[in-house]
Amino acid sequence: MRKPENIYVSLQLYKDDISREMLLNIQFDRDAPNFFINTDSISWCPTIEEQDFVSEAFGMLSKRKRQRQDQMDESDHQESPSQDLIREADEKEILDRVLQKKRSSFNQG
């Protein structure tokens, strides 16, 4: 396997103890030609290869997170059809009350 060129960062994947989420940590090579340390600031000018590398890594994490969220949404939807009926009934009741107020104010005016 060929070593990637113009990539001066390393990525670390870890699981947060509190949120239990997978997180991506980017570590910079202080000797890289695109990493600058000044008195009050640190600057990084990512190469195109670094941008692609980091974007791909974040894309993999967000895809995994979306898939997990979709699975959770699916299981929530399957477990609570009665809640949907309650919500629909609440919406219908609210709509009926609003229309009734509008009709009464229209009839009085």
pLDDT in tens, 39-66: 899 999 999 999 988 888 888 777 766 6
pLDDT tens string 16-40: 899 888 888 889 899 999 999 998 9
> Tokens 């949907």, residue?
84
Q: Check: pTM over 0.75? Answer yes or no.
A: no
Identify the DSSP state of 24. Answer: E
Pick from 96, 77, 75: nearest CA to 85: 77
